[in-house]
Amino acid sequence: MAKQTHSVTITGDQVLRADHIVRDLTKLSRSKITRLFDNGCVNVNGKACKDSFFRVSEGDLLEVSFNPDAGYPEATKAWDDRTFDVVFEDSWIVVVNKSAGVLAVPTEKSAGNTLLDRLKLYLNHSRRGRECFVVHRLDREASGLLVFAKSEVGAGLLQAQFADNAPTRLFTAIVNGNMSKPEGKFECRLTTASNLDQYAVYGKDEGQLATTEYRVIREKMDTTVVELKLLTARRHQMRVHLADAGHPVIGDPRYGKRKSQHRNWHKRRMALHGHHLEFLHPESAAPMVFDSPVPVAMKKFRPQPLEDE
């Protein structure tokens, strides 16, 4: 069927919503009218109108042009998720900025709704059958950058990079106290306790080697902002290294005990954020470099009331 065109110049007694005018002109159902707006079939004064609730004014020219036999698709709703923001995506990978308090991947005790679960929903939002594969992890209480693969092949290639400690991962943390040196390195062997905590062991054949470099960014009264670089990627290694050095991450619920608590930190998260991630693309081997701004809660943290600083 040929395209139909309907138009009307709005009079004083017709000043109301655009979708009501389109309904009167076309006699179509509400759902079909919405799709006409979604697909740019409605114009007001020569410009496409995507807002069906738009209120026309006296003298406006409203025009509807559409093919009655065409299957105009419903507009895809923008994805909105508090657990993550998409930083980069292509056919091989998706890089996200994880929110604090979100479990990255399922565990034996988790009840679903992890970051991985949410990502799978996101990837299937516009087209079904898309997969998502874990490459590396980030503690629940921390925020920051993570890369996931969209295929088993891509995951294997990326996981090999992380197994060789090839990617660059930098973190910003606020820790208790002032560091004695402006930069340095923590190194020990870590093993897992029965409660799944990590702790240092000293036998040369015990545990796994864990190495973290640090650099002081600035001191804030009785706390210090540091940049941490993972030279290995053991579970909780930064948190254990800092707690064992007497400078636990502020807000850490697991390591540091009372020292990790601060009178001016009231957030239900750790002051730890993965702000920089570098790796090679699994298909092209091109360098992929990503940065994420430090969260507002950490940026605005004041160890003492503002007037005392």
| 10 and 115 in a common domain | no
Question: Is 298 part of a structural domain of the chain?
Answer: yes
Task: For 226-268, write each residue's pLDDT tens digit.
Answer: 999 999 999 999 999 999 999 999 999 999 989 999 999 999 8
Higher-pLDDT residue of 125 and 248 is 248
| 37 and 114 in a common domain | no
pTM of the full structure: 0.73
Beta pairing, strands 272-280 & 143-149: parallel
pLDDT at 196: 87
In this structure, what CATH number is given to the domain that contains residue 164?
Answer: 3.30.2350.10
Task: For 18-39, write each residue's pLDDT tens digit.
Answer: 999 999 999 998 889 988 998 9
The last residue of a domain, from among 66, 101, 117: 66
Structural domain count, the chain: 2
| 278 and 175 in a common domain | yes
Q: How would residue 155 be classed by pLDDT, with cut points 50, 70 and 90?
A: very high
Q: In the predicted model, what is the mean pLDDT of the chain?
A: 90
pLDDT at 303: 85
pLDDT at 308: 46
Task: Look at residue 298 and tell me whether its pLDDT is greater than 60.
Answer: yes
Phi/psi at 153 (5° precision): -65, -50
Q: Give first-to-last CA distance, the chain, whole Å.
A: 74
Question: Is 100 part of a structural domain of the chain?
Answer: yes
| 29 and 91 in a common domain | no
Question: Is 71 part of a structural domain of the chain?
Answer: no
Please state, in angstroms and as integers, the Cα–Cα distance from residue 32 to each residue in 2, 53, 72, following that order: 17, 15, 8
Q: How would residue 211 be classed by pLDDT, with cut points 50, 70 and 90?
A: very high
| 20 and 111 in a common domain | no
Tokens encoding 174: 């606020």
Q: Which of these, 87, 96, 151, lies nearest to 282 by C-alpha position?
A: 151
Q: What is the mean pLDDT of residues 100-116?
A: 81
Per the CB < 8 A criterion, the answer to whether 224 and 179 are in contact is: yes
Task: Look at residue 295 and tell me whether its pLDDT is greater than 60.
Answer: yes
Question: Is 79 part of a structural domain of the chain?
Answer: no
CA gap 47, 61 in Å, rounded: 10
Q: What is the mean pLDDT of residues 41-46?
A: 94
Task: For 66-77, write each residue's pLDDT tens digit.
Answer: 998 887 876 655
Question: Is 78 part of a structural domain of the chain?
Answer: no
| 162 and 19 in a common domain | no
Coil, strand or helix at 30: helix
| 34 and 100 in a common domain | no
pLDDT at 302: 87
Partner residues linked to 161 by β-bridges: none
| 88 and 61 in a common domain | no
The CA radius of gyration of the chain, in Å to the nearest whole number, is 27
In this structure, what CATH number is given to the domain that contains residue 48?
Answer: 3.10.290.10
| 142 and 46 in a common domain | no
pLDDT at 246: 96
Q: What percent of the chain has pLDDT over 70?
A: 93
Domain around 165 = 84-308
| 94 and 57 in a common domain | no
| 228 and 143 in a common domain | yes
Phi/psi at 108 (5° precision): -60, -30
Higher-pLDDT residue of 15 and 128 is 15
Question: Is 75 part of a structural domain of the chain?
Answer: no
Lowest-pLDDT choice from 120-124, 240-244, 304-308: 304-308
